[in-house]
Structure 1
Amino acid sequence: MVQPKGNSLLDLNTHSEPSNLPEKATWWKKSKNVILVLVFLLMSALLGAFVVNTVINGILEDWIGINLRWQRMCMSKECVSAAHELIENMNDQVHPCDDFYDFACSQFVTREWIPDDALEVSQFSLTEDHVHLQLRKIFDEYLPGLSTAPANLTLWHNQACMNVSRIYELGLDPLLDTINEFGGWPIVKQQGELPRFEAESSSLVNLSRALFTQGMGTNFLFSLYVGQDVKKTDEYTLYLDQPDFGLNAKYLNLGRNHSFVQAYRAFSSEIAEFLGAAQDGPRNKAIDEMLTFEMNLSNISASWEERRDKKLLYQNITLRDLSALCPVWDWTFFVNSLKLTPTQLNEDQQIVVIGKPFISQLKPLLAKTKPTTIKNYILWRAIKSWASIIGGKIQAIIGKYHRALVGAKEAKPRWKTCLQATSATFQPLLGKFYVEKFFQNNTSRATASEMISRIKDTFQNNLRKLDWMDKKTKSRALAKLRHMDEFVGFSDLIKNETIIKTFIQGLKLDPQEFFNNQRKINKWRIKQRWMKLGQRYGAIDSLTDETITVVNAYNDLFANSIILPAGILQGAFFDDIRPKYLNYGSLGFIIGHEIIHGYDNIGKQFDEQ
């Protein structure tokens, strides 16, 4: 008998000689062949299933565009619409790492065209067009059935503006009659020299007061108004500031040879000729002197950049001190002569002077300028402000000037012009109707408010992590963020009928007389504002500041608050139903932008209150 070899590795793996003893039969030995076959078949089945699934899925996706994983995708109408718009705007022939703007937007640029009455096309302008159509529907279908005082005022203002036949029937008469109330435009009447003004006895006082109180303009030589106090934002105070100009000061300061200045001079000359001025040397000389005076006014005014420092510009003095600083006239007498304040003011009345250097240099400039030139300029500014709302061939002159400045080839359709005019005048009322018609049972406000809250939280976390900001500054920045409020969509004040009635109190309009309506509105606005002098900022003031139908967003620095009007809670910017990441990529970007305004070179001048 051959003995078995030793228990070595070799022995366990090689048996050169079979054992003569019978082996014990086990379960594995009996079944392994069957199991191996079954495992092979199972693996083959699984592999086959995987291959078949991959092939079929690939065929379906490649051939008929069906994604079998659709269950994990948003397939709502809003999602499909958003995806369609994104794809329509994209250029898939450009790699996003090479030119992301071209990749994301080039098809939008290629597809869209700028209408002849517009300056640009963007997501903002497209959303504005949508809002304008909604508002037009309100005028055509909603307001006629209400028969309430707010609805009637809004409707009548728009109807008077749309009544082109009546406007053209009146022609220049409303404007000429009004200018003649103030003694006529010397450049047309070629009057002789006016006497040089001396304090309150001068013709300049009477002219300025008349234009102010008759609603024809308050912002020609200076800007005198009642507004929120920059340092005590819950109070109203009296302000004196430099004026706006007929042409932006940055262009006037570039000199007569700038193309915009030349277009502006030609515009004033053509208007003068159209109103009856002779085509001669004296007319041209008067135009040049008027332009020189306006350029001199512009030269002593603060620039846009300088005016960003609100605290430096803010000078709170008495009316007595103002009369010494700018002895054009007795300012206490002048303000009281307007008869707009709740009570007579005395010389100790505080007035905030914005831009003290301009105010201090105004008297010397007026003193060296011919009174006729001053009157020519003041009435030119009034004529320019009002010419756009009268009928006749004067509109062609205005259109030519606008084309030279901004490039628009045509005037806007009349319904858009009137809609914007009514919206500017009655924004709280139009906003109320807009919400009633298009924002009932809308959850957008809650969703947008949640977005603001989340973005503020993220901003706060990032602010805490800054290692370059000192503790005191960081503490103030965090305090401002904690107190930053938000107003989304609209204020519930628009549903308060008592406040609405108070807002329109004292205003009566004629649906046939657009020019006179505008004068009434201006006088009403001035009276409303001036009656608030010395009062605290209240609910009716919040209503006046509503911008419900505006497609934009704001940071109200006076109130330390973010404002998202209803107008922007739609379109490419926002949809309550679509995925959140789309809203954060559009409206979220805008919210972040507005938060940052609270810390920019103007926002930093206002605290958390």
Structure 2
Amino acid sequence: MLKPKTVIALTAVTALALGGCSKSEHLKSLDANLINDSIPAGTDFYEHVTQRWQEAHPLTAEYSRYGQFNVLNDSSEARVKDIITGLAATNPEPGTVAFKVSTIYNQAMDSARRNAEGAAPIRAGLDKIENTPHEGMADLFLWFQKEYGSPFMGAGPMENMVNSDEYAMYLSGGSMGLNDRDYYLENDPRNTEVREAYRKLISSQLTNAGFSADTAARIMNTVMEIETAMARDAKTREESRDIQAMYNPRSFESLKKDYPAVPWDRFFVETMDIATPIDTIIVTDPKSMARANALMSTLTDRQIKDYYLWKYVSGASGYLSDAFADASFEFYKVLSGAQEQRPRWKRALSATEGAMGEAVGQLYVEKYFPESSKQYMLGLVENLRTALGQHIDSLTWMSDATKARAREKLAAFTVKIGYPDKWKDYSSMEIDPEKSYYDNMHEVSMWHTRDMLSKWGKPVDRTEWGMTPQTVNAYYNPLANEIVFPAAILQAPFFDPASSDAENYGGIGVVIGHEMTHGFDDQGRHFDAKGNMTDWWEPQDAEAFKALTDKLVKQFDAVEVLPGLNANGAYTLGENIADQGGLRVAMTAFLNSQKQKGVDVATARIDGFTPAQVFYLNYANLWAQNIREAEMRSLTQGDVHSLGKNRVNVTLRNIGPFFEAFSITEGQPMYRPAEERVTIW
């Protein structure tokens, strides 16, 4: 990801490539006035391109970071707000999609009603948990699993990693409220600060829910004990990237033997309405599942109930009164550094899109996404596909046998652009304005759970999308071998039909190459052309790949993000490989396109810049942002993407044509000797 059919025929779209530099002598996506020559390109290329942009876009209290993605997201949010408020103005008929969307948004905006209700919407659930007798604890577990997802474990169908045409049943140990184990186990100042903020959050929300201070303190201590125990057996950040280690098939009988604390004979029937026996279950993390079993076996009823009470309150807090929202934000302030909550309308939009994102997306596409943009993108994708094939053919570290299989996978990429061919049907989702906001959003959650569980026993639906059209992002799904580009990212500075090819290839072209390269990164390389996890590499090629990626890991490990805090090259490896591959492949595709059009890139100029310079300048421009120190720490600890500055400076220092474009030579900080550069794809 840039934050899971039929392959388009090459001959059908190559003629649709964008116009050459000769059609435009001026920049459009890139503002030349923001290039800061007082910081030479060879000193700090990121600051050379983005420093003036940063000055022009100071962080407001709402944001922990603000960059080009946020600019586009703001545009997308404004459009979606216009769509949703417009629906409400039509006084839609009850039961229609427009009625459901409007009701969710209006209830999210109605803080007066939620403040008056307080914790009343969750009182029945809290009473159920509290009043369950000992002999009903198994029933309580199954109820919680079905309605909210047990905090001790999770299960559900997903594409089978070794046969992606069918769904498999996956099982995993429970998740922690603080998603990274270090927050619980490490005692340095930052992890301690976040841990203490989490303790405060738990106590505050339980008090908001009506518990006494003493009871809230007891529950908080129980939660921290349980989640710290989970953290001890949780995967490290680096281990979480070992996708092969996630495939651990178990028979139903072995589940009963290995994890006896779970009432397995009732589990799938009562929580998923699956009556037929399930022969095989994939355990994604046996160690975490063993810990969950041990906790469920040894904790007292009181401890288990306390944990359920917190998880229930935590899951509901986003749909209750302002007191709950304020407490959540106090924790988020520590985590991210943001000083002010997002406006209520933005929070309401997020909730509405989370509930019925494709319904909103369908309207978004009709109003804001021209078919011509899709056709342009098809041409760009095929040019990038051709270029990546050229790169595969020219690799010196890969054997011909593995190259042939890589080519087969490349040819099989499915391309999805703009919006789904088939939209979700929300007709069975029941939204009632007489019910509380919490009750309606619980129905939304249950609808999505039922939708997910309905896949069991059916062929995999390859038409589904993992993002809505109004999302400013893109992704690669290894289990479908597909690259997906939602409509909202197809805007400047990523893409503009009126911009020069150099800008578009340095923008959306790199994004396309990035997602394609994910098919061959340290995780994607384990999946074949059909999306099945299999070893299609010759052993010596896998060893050569590992040697190269180890060098890339060390390059990022060496970067000090903040005093005492270095980047994590192993955790961000996949994205770093994709960034580098995207840049290399997009430049080749760009040069190919100019050659086909007879453009001499050596003499062409765009506002005085060479096309190659414009290409790299716009790439750096994509990552322009301001960011708070707390957010830098959180992202370094928990995000598989490198920080924007490193995505520019560290990555470009491996690319020879970049040095040539800006005459960067030995002795300048951006320079890296040829023998130290890493070239993978």
Give the TM-score, by structure 1 length. 0.78
Match of 1:360 in 2: 290
Match of 2:513 in 1: 592
Task: Give CA-to-partner distance per residue, 1:182-203, whole Å, 9 cap, x none.
Answer: 3369xxxxxxxx74xxxxxx54
Instruction: Tell me, yes or no, if the aligned pair for 1:320 and 1:331 is still in contact at 8 Å.
Output: no
Q: Distance in 2 between matches of 1:369 and 1:182?
A: 15
- With over 3 angstroms needed to count, the CA separation of the structure-2 counterparts of 1:94 and 1:290, relative to structure 1, is closer
Aligned to 1:239, the other structure's residue is in SS state: strand
Instruction: Tell me, yes or no, if the aligned pair for 1:114 and 1:120 is still in contact at 8 Å.
Output: yes
- Find out whether 1:345 has 2:288 as its counterpart: no
Instruction: Tell me, yes or no, if the aligned pair for 2:173 and 2:285 is still in contact at 8 Å.
Output: yes
Aligned to 2:485, the other structure's residue is in SS state: strand
Match of 1:14 in 2: none
- Find out whether 1:425 has 2:355 as its counterpart: yes
Match of 2:325 among 380, 389, 395: 395
Match of 2:122 in 1: 175
Quote how far apart the aligned CAs of 1:567 are.
0.8
Instruction: Tell me, yes or no, if the aligned pair for 2:176 and 2:231 is still in contact at 8 Å.
Output: yes
Match of 1:117 among 53, 57, 62: 62
- With over 3 angstroms needed to count, the CA separation of the structure-2 counterparts of 1:220 and 1:390, relative to structure 1, is same
- Find out whether 1:547 has 2:477 as its counterpart: no
Q: Distance in 2 between matches of 1:238 and 1:98?
A: 52
Larger radius of gyration: 1
Quote how far apart the aligned CAs of 1:299 are.
1.4
Match of 2:486 in 1: 565
Task: Give CA-to-partner distance per residue, 1:300-337, whole Å, 9 cap, x none.
Answer: 22233223222222122222221111001331222212
Match of 2:151 in 1: 220
Q: Distance in 2 between matches of 1:459 and 1:338?
A: 46
Quote how far apart the aligned CAs of 1:353 are.
1.4
- With over 3 angstroms needed to count, the CA separation of the structure-2 counterparts of 1:537 and 1:272, relative to structure 1, is same
Q: Distance in 2 between matches of 1:352 and 1:156?
A: 39
Match of 1:230 in 2: 161
Instruction: Tell me, yes or no, if the aligned pair for 1:290 and 1:374 is still in contact at 8 Å.
Output: no
Match of 2:432 among 510, 533, 542: 510
Q: Distance in 1 between matches of 2:459 and 2:442?
A: 28
Match of 1:57 in 2: none
Match of 1:453 in 2: 382
Q: Distance in 2 between matches of 1:522 and 1:120?
A: 29
Structure 1: segments with no counterpart, 5+ residues: 1-70, 186-193, 196-201, 495-499
CA RMSD in angstroms comes to 2.4
Aligned to 2:163, the other structure's residue is in SS state: coil
Match of 2:446 among 505, 512, 523: 523
- With over 3 angstroms needed to count, the CA separation of the structure-2 counterparts of 1:145 and 1:247, relative to structure 1, is same
Quote how far apart the aligned CAs of 1:144 are.
4.2
Match of 2:197 in 1: 263
- With over 3 angstroms needed to count, the CA separation of the structure-2 counterparts of 1:511 and 1:118, relative to structure 1, is farther
- With over 3 angstroms needed to count, the CA separation of the structure-2 counterparts of 1:268 and 1:581, relative to structure 1, is same
Match of 2:100 in 1: 153
Q: Distance in 2 between matches of 1:244 and 1:419?
A: 27
Q: Distance in 1 between matches of 2:330 and 2:131?
A: 26
Quote how far apart the aligned CAs of 1:93 are.
3.1
Paired residue type of 1:232:
N
Aligned to 1:226, the other structure's residue is in SS state: strand
- With over 3 angstroms needed to count, the CA separation of the structure-2 counterparts of 1:103 and 1:207, relative to structure 1, is same
Paired residue type of 1:305:
E
- Find out whether 1:442 has 2:387 as its counterpart: no
Q: Distance in 2 between matches of 1:139 and 1:286?
A: 40
Match of 1:330 in 2: 263
Structure 2: segments with no counterpart, 5+ residues: 1-20, 531-681
Instruction: Tell me, yes or no, if the aligned pair for 2:35 and 2:52 is still in contact at 8 Å.
Output: yes
Paired residue type of 1:363:
N
Instruction: Tell me, yes or no, if the aligned pair for 1:255 and 1:261 is still in contact at 8 Å.
Output: no
- With over 3 angstroms needed to count, the CA separation of the structure-2 counterparts of 1:505 and 1:318, relative to structure 1, is farther
Match of 1:34 in 2: none
Instruction: Tell me, yes or no, if the aligned pair for 2:28 and 2:498 is still in contact at 8 Å.
Output: no
Match of 1:574 in 2: 495
Aligned to 1:233, the other structure's residue is in SS state: strand
Quote how far apart the aligned CAs of 1:586 are.
0.8
- Find out whether 1:129 has 2:74 as its counterpart: yes
- With over 3 angstroms needed to count, the CA separation of the structure-2 counterparts of 1:386 and 1:142, relative to structure 1, is closer
- Find out whether 1:463 has 2:392 as its counterpart: yes
Q: Distance in 2 between matches of 1:248 and 1:158?
A: 29
Q: Distance in 1 between matches of 2:52 and 2:349?
A: 31
Match of 1:251 among 144, 159, 182: 182
Quote how far apart the aligned CAs of 1:528 are.
2.1
Match of 2:227 among 294, 303, 319: 294
Match of 1:100 among 33, 39, 45: 45
- With over 3 angstroms needed to count, the CA separation of the structure-2 counterparts of 1:220 and 1:256, relative to structure 1, is farther
Q: Distance in 1 between matches of 2:28 and 2:399?
A: 47
Quote how far apart the aligned CAs of 1:465 are.
1.2
Quote how far apart the aligned CAs of 1:360 are.
2.8
Aligned to 2:502, the other structure's residue is in SS state: helix
Q: Distance in 1 between matches of 2:108 and 2:79?
A: 19
Instruction: Tell me, yes or no, if the aligned pair for 1:340 and 1:527 is still in contact at 8 Å.
Output: no
Q: Which moves more between the two structures, 354-363 or 282-291?
A: 282-291
Quote how far apart the aligned CAs of 1:470 are.
1.4
Instruction: Tell me, yes or no, if the aligned pair for 2:222 and 2:306 is still in contact at 8 Å.
Output: no
Match of 1:272 in 2: 206
Quote how far apart the aligned CAs of 1:603 are.
0.5
Aligned to 2:31, the other structure's residue is in SS state: helix
Aligned to 1:486, the other structure's residue is in SS state: strand
Match of 2:617 in 1: none
Match of 2:586 in 1: none
Instruction: Tell me, yes or no, if the aligned pair for 2:476 and 2:519 is still in contact at 8 Å.
Output: yes
Quote how far apart the aligned CAs of 1:388 are.
2.0
- With over 3 angstroms needed to count, the CA separation of the structure-2 counterparts of 1:163 and 1:95, relative to structure 1, is same
- With over 3 angstroms needed to count, the CA separation of the structure-2 counterparts of 1:461 and 1:543, relative to structure 1, is closer
- With over 3 angstroms needed to count, the CA separation of the structure-2 counterparts of 1:463 and 1:529, relative to structure 1, is same
Match of 1:475 in 2: 404
**Percent identical across equivalent pairs?**
22
Aligned to 2:130, the other structure's residue is in SS state: coil
Aligned to 1:492, the other structure's residue is in SS state: coil
- With over 3 angstroms needed to count, the CA separation of the structure-2 counterparts of 1:579 and 1:221, relative to structure 1, is same
Instruction: Tell me, yes or no, if the aligned pair for 2:185 and 2:232 is still in contact at 8 Å.
Output: no
Aligned to 2:329, the other structure's residue is in SS state: helix
Quote how far apart the aligned CAs of 1:222 are.
0.5
Paired residue type of 2:438:
F
Quote how far apart the aligned CAs of 1:546 are.
4.5
Match of 1:204 in 2: 137
Match of 1:52 in 2: none
Paired residue type of 1:269:
S
Instruction: Tell me, yes or no, if the aligned pair for 2:219 and 2:307 is still in contact at 8 Å.
Output: no
* Structure with higher RCO (Cα < 8 A, 6+ apart): 2
Q: Distance in 1 between matches of 2:455 and 2:216?
A: 43
Instruction: Tell me, yes or no, if the aligned pair for 1:553 and 1:568 is still in contact at 8 Å.
Output: yes
Aligned to 1:114, the other structure's residue is in SS state: coil
- With over 3 angstroms needed to count, the CA separation of the structure-2 counterparts of 1:184 and 1:106, relative to structure 1, is farther
Q: Distance in 2 between matches of 1:264 and 1:411?
A: 18
Q: Distance in 2 between matches of 1:73 and 1:286?
A: 67
Quote how far apart the aligned CAs of 1:255 are.
4.3
Paired residue type of 2:310:
W
- With over 3 angstroms needed to count, the CA separation of the structure-2 counterparts of 1:253 and 1:316, relative to structure 1, is same
Q: Distance in 1 between matches of 2:258 and 2:519?
A: 34
Aligned to 1:338, the other structure's residue is in SS state: helix
Q: Distance in 2 between matches of 1:595 and 1:307?
A: 22
Paired residue type of 1:536:
P
- With over 3 angstroms needed to count, the CA separation of the structure-2 counterparts of 1:492 and 1:362, relative to structure 1, is closer
Task: Give CA-to-partner distance per residue, 1:380-435, whole Å, 9 cap, x none.
Answer: 12211211220143333222111122111111111101111111221211110101
Instruction: Tell me, yes or no, if the aligned pair for 2:208 and 2:324 is still in contact at 8 Å.
Output: yes
Quote how far apart the aligned CAs of 1:169 are.
2.0
Task: Give CA-to-partner distance per residue, 1:195-218, whole Å, 9 cap, x none.
Answer: 4xxxxxx543222222233x3x21
Give the TM-score, by structure 2 length. 0.70
